[in-house]
Each structure stands twice: as C-alpha cells, then as structure tokens.
C-alpha cells in the first residue's frame, strides 16, 4: 500500500460495507482529491456481485456496484410479467444482498443505479420509497446514489426534475448522479446513436452548462456529474470516438472560478470507459473523475471465460455420459463450475481496472 493510500485509510477509517450519506461523500471526495477513481460495474445477479466484491477484496480497493434497469429486472426474474415491479424488486433484492455480504469483504462499496431516463423515473421513485422504509428500519438507505439521465431534454427541464428528486433523496443520505451532454451508444435501452464520420458535437458538454447545474443542485444535496467529453457506451472502432478530457478540466475551472471551492469542486463520472486509451483515462482522473463505468469489458470478460471453458469441455455440454470415456460429465457442467470460471474472468479483468484507475491498495475501510 502506498503512503498516500495509508494516509487516506487512516484518516477516514470507514466501516466496511455499503457507504451512504456523509461516508459516501467522504469516499467520493477522497478519490477525487487524491487522484484516483473506482471502477463501476453493472451486475445482474449474485454471481457478478460476488465476483466484484472478491476482486475488490483481493486488490484492497473500494468499488462501485450498480444496476441498470434491465439488470434489476433480470435479478428479479425475467418470468415476472410486471416489468416495472420487477425493476424495483430486483434492485431492492440486489441491494439487500450487497448490504448483507459486503462488509465481510473488508472494503467500502458504493451502491448505485445506472441511467434512468424520463420513462424510468417511476423506477427511481420506487427505490426511494424502499429506502425510506429502510431508513426507518436500519437508519441507512438501500442505495448510496441514483443516476437520472435527462441529457436528451432541455437543460432547464433536466435540472428541474433532478432537483425535485434530490429533495427527496438528500434527507435519506442518497446522492444524485446527473448527465450533461449525451454519451453515445446504448446502455440497456438508453442511449444515443453514434453517427460514423459525424461531428457528434452533442457528445461534448459545455462548461457553462455544468456550472448552471452545479449551482442549482449542489445546495440541495450531494451531486456527481457525468459530463460528456466524447465518450460512448460499448466498444467502437478506432477513429469513431475522440475523447477530449480537457472538457472536464475546463468544467472544473468554470465552477472553481464561480464558487471559490478549490481547484476541483466537481466529482466527475466517466461513462463508457470500456476500451478507452490508458492515457485518456489517466488524464480524465487527474481532472476529478472518481468513477469510471466499464460494463462492456466486464461482460466480455465473463462471457469469454465461460466460452473458453465450454469449448474446452464441449463433450460435457452435449452428453451427460461422455462418449469418449463412458463416464458421467456432471462435474464439468455443474453450473457452479462454469459460473465460477466466469466470476474469475471478472476478477481478473477488474484487477487491471483497479490498477489503471490508481485504486489498488487504497481502500478507506478500517480493519475490523
């Protein structure tokens, strides 16, 4: 562990497990101020959740676990006919699982929900309802933060709707992530087309818009901002995407000049981190990015690992008794075998992500 990491851990000494309220804010601001970021991983079941926690524990790093609306529905079961109810129940069930086991891994976890556009605002409202009940029962909300993505709407409408939600969330100890500008590509049914060869000026957030949103929302609660700087969801061919992290630097400068709150008053989010150049990642983190989403790379790590296993043991996935040996193949097709292989694919990929983001060895959780 580096001297900087030791200092952060000793200074904060947060209780391991899900962080909310003031502890969530302290973790975010520590990442931003000390120049490192946390990977944010979309999960779909206990297998992916446990793999993320295992990776965090192995690397002595804190981590962000998040659910998209589709991931939440999948967690509840695709057979549930009421999709809206499934989104809420799935997210609540996943949150309770993380709350139950996370502390045992000895790291701090930010629990978050990903993109919610206008049609998904009832999902967020339902989760806030659930957190209100959780606070009554345990004193802690289910989630650290929620994201509202109204970036396709006029800025004034985006800010007004986010303000209304933040007024409900802040008293519970829940933060808000907003998106300004649009992230190209698609994330679970939410997104914007990326036109080959087009200027794609809409992929670059204007610093004055960031300032306007910050001034309107920060008095209401803790806000993090996904400012677009050319990033896209998924992995695209070289040349289709031009990342401009200097937009983040300029946004920090605009807010710092207007508020006098230090050089990096904003806690920034990097969406569409999968496949990005290391130099661009490092630069973005230096400008105050504390969170980078890497869903696509993690999905591929899981799928490719399982795919290799199936290929290597193809006979077991088509015959319960192996024609070549006459022996049962159950020990090879047992779901625990290949799911574990997929989990290890996630663990190995996240080890690289923690290192790329400078998070390895920097957990702020106290030893218990």
pLDDT digits (tens, 9 = 90+) for 252-278: 999 999 999 999 999 999 988 677 789
HSE-CB at 202 with a 13 A cutoff on CA atoms is 15
DSSP state letter for 159: H
Between CA 39 and CA 53 the distance in angstroms is 12
Q: Look at residue 368 in the predicted model and tell me its pLDDT.
A: 79
Structural domain boundaries in the chain: 13-355
Q: Look at residue 274 in the predicted model and tell me its pLDDT.
A: 72
Q: Annotated binding residue at 82? A: no
| Proportion of the chain above pLDDT 70, given as a percent | 88
Q: Annotated binding residue at 272? A: yes
> Does 224 score more than 50 pLDDT?
yes
Condensed to tens digits (0 to 9), the pLDDT of residues 9-65 reads 556 899 999 999 999 999 999 999 999 999 999 999 999 999 999 999 999 999 999
Q: Are strands 268-270 and 17-18 parallel, antiparallel or unpaired?
A: unpaired
Query: Looking at residues 222-240, what average pLDDT do you find?
Result: 72
Q: Annotated binding residue at 233? A: yes
> Does 202 score more than 80 pLDDT?
no
Q: Share the mean pLDDT of the chain.
A: 91
| H/E element, 67 | strand 63-67
**3-state SS assignment for residue 48:** helix
Pick the CATH number of 13-355 from 3.40.50.300, 2.40.170.20, 3.20.20.70, 3.65.10.10: 3.20.20.70
What is the sign of the dihedral through the CA atoms of 291, 296, 299 and 303? negative
Q: Do 284 and 229 form a contact (C-beta atoms < 8 A)?
A: yes
Which of 37-41, 183-187, 310-314 is predicted with the least confidence, judged by mean pLDDT?
A: 183-187
Burial class (CB in 10 A: 0-12, 13-18, 19+), 146: buried
> Does 350 score more than 60 pLDDT?
yes
User: Torsion-angle region of residue 77: left (phi > 0), alpha (psi -120 to 50) or beta?
Assistant: left
Q: Annotated binding residue at 271? A: yes
> Does 319 score more than 80 pLDDT?
yes
Q: Annotated binding residue at 273? A: yes
Q: Do 364 and 14 form a contact (C-beta atoms < 8 A)?
A: yes
The catalytic residue among 114, 209, 297, 356 is: 114
Q: Indicate if 117 belongs to the active site.
A: no
Q: Which residue has the tokens 């339902």?
A: 126
Q: Annotated binding residue at 274? A: yes
Burial class (CB in 10 A: 0-12, 13-18, 19+), 307: middle
User: Confidence band (pLDDT; 50, 70, 90) for 3?
Assistant: low
Q: Annotated binding residue at 64? A: no
Q: Annotated binding residue at 112? A: no
180 Cβ neighbours under 8 A, 6+ residues apart: 151, 155, 158, 205, 209, 210, 213, 225, 226, 227, 228
* Cα Rg of the chain, angstroms: 21
Q: Annotated binding residue at 184? A: no
């Amino acid at each position: 562990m580096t001297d900087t990491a030791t200092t952060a851990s000793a200074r904060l000494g947060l209780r391991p497990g899900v962080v909310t309220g003031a502890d969530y804010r302290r973790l975010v601001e520590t990442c931003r101020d000390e120049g490192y970021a946390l990977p944010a991983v979309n999960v779909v079941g206990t297998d992916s959740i446990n793999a993320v926690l295992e990776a965090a524990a192995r690397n002595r790093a804190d981590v962000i676990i998040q659910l998209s609306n589709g991931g939440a529905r999948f967690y509840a079961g695709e057979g549930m006919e009421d999709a809206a109810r499934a989104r809420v129940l799935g997210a609540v069930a996943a949150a309770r699982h993380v709350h139950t086991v996370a502390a045992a891994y000895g790291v701090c976890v930010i629990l978050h929900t990903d993109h919610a556009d206008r049609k998904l605002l009832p999902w967020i409202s339902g989760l806030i309802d659930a957190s209100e009940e959780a606070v009554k029962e345990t004193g802690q909300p289910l989630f650290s933060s929620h994201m509202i993505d109204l970036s396709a709407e006029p800025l004034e409408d985006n800010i007004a709707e986010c303000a209304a939600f933040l007024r409900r969330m802040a008293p519970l100890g829940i933060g808000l992530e907003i998106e300004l500008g649009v992230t190209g590509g698609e994330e679970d049914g939410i997104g914007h087309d990326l036109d080959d060869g087009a200027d794609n000026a809409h992929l670059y957030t204007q610093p004055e818009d960031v300032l306007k949103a910050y001034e309107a929302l920060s008095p209401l609660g803790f806000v993090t901002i996904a400012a677009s700087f050319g990033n896209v969801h998924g992995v695209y061919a070289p040349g289709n995407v031009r990342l401009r992290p200097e937009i983040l630097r300029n946004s920090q400068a605009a807010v710092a000049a207007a508020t006098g709150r230090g050089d990096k008053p904003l806690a920034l989010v990097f969406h569409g981190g999968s496949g990005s150049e290391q130099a661009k990642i490092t630069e973005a983190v230096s400008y105050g990015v504390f969170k980078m989403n890497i869903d696509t790379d993690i999905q591929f790590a899981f799928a490719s690992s399982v795919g290799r296993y199936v290929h290597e043991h193809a006979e077991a996935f088509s015959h319960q008794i192996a024609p070549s040996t006459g022996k049962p193949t159950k020990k090879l097709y047992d779901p625990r075998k290949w799911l574990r292989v997929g989990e290890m694919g996630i663990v190995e990929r996240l080890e690289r992500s923690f290192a790329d983001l400078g998070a390895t060895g920097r957990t702020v959780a106290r030893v218990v």
